[in-house]
């Protein structure tokens, strides 16, 4: 373990606050190779300083610096703890609608889908074909269960979206 300890800390630049990982990085997180495995550097720093990391636990950053490996800046937490920490610090990105990197539709597409379904009574499958998406996605958009921030549906629109008009 002593050899690992020395190899690891040689790749760290000590700063007045954070201790920066200077080795390989991916998405901002340090990477450290040991015994043919690639490990996250901040997890290795925690392991070297405090010992084993319990199963299912994350090593989180108080400092929010992904490349920091300073043990005092690290803490154990569940996925929920990590998200709550992020929300408390105002780092939780708003990924609604078009801001979601996975979004294939625009806000204008969603408004058009709702109009076609809820006002014109078009079938879910015909709308799905127009927007190159699937029946389920159109249904959720029409019901307002996705893209919620674009507005709520009135009772008549909801009835139509749920199947009051033909599918």
Q: What is the pLDDT of residues 27-57, one digit of tens each?
A: 899 999 999 999 999 999 999 999 999 999 9
Of 60, 88, 116, the residue that ends a domain is 88
Residues of the chain with pLDDT under 70: 1-2, 94, 152-167
- What pLDDT score does 89 carry? 84
Same domain for 124 and 66: no
Report the Cα 18 to chain-centroid distance in Å: 24
Alpha-carbon distances of 162 from 15, 55, 133, 144, rounded to whole Å = 58, 43, 18, 10
- What pLDDT score does 4 carry? 93
Q: The CATH number of the domain where 41 resides is what?
A: 3.90.75
Same domain for 109 and 50: no
Same domain for 137 and 62: no
pTM of the model as a whole: 0.58
Same domain for 102 and 26: no
How many distinct helices (H) and strands (E) make up the chain?
7, 7
Cβ neighbourhood burial of 98 (10 Å; 0-12, 13-18, 19+): middle
Q: What are phi and psi of 13, to 5 degrees?
A: -105, 115
Alpha-carbon distances of 87 from 66, 71, 134, rounded to whole Å = 16, 22, 32
- What pLDDT score does 83 carry? 85
Same domain for 82 and 131: no
Domain boundaries, position 35: 2-88
State the total domains in the chain: 2
What DSSP state is assigned to residue 152? Answer: P
């Amino acid at each position: 373990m002593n050899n690992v300890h020395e190899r690891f800390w040689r790749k760290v630049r000590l700063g007045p606050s954070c201790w920066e990982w200077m080795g390989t990085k991916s998405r901002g997180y340090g990477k450290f190779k040991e015994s043919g495995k690639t490990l996250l550097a901040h997890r290795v720093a925690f392991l070297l300083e405090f010992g084993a990391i319990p199963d299912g636990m994350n090593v989180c950053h108080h400092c929010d610096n992904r490349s920091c490996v300073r043990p005092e800046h690290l803490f154990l937490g569940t996925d929920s703890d990590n998200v709550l920490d992020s929300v408390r610090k105002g780092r939780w990105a708003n990924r609604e609608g078009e801001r979601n990197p996975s979004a294939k539709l625009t806000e204008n597409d969603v408004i058009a889908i709702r109009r076609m379904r809820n006002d014109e009574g078009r079938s879910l499958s015909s709308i799905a074909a127009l927007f190159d998406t699937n029946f389920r996605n159109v249904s959720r958009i029409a019901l307002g269960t996705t893209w919620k921030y674009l507005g709520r549906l009135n009772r008549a629109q909801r009835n139509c979206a749920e199947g009051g008009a033909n599918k």
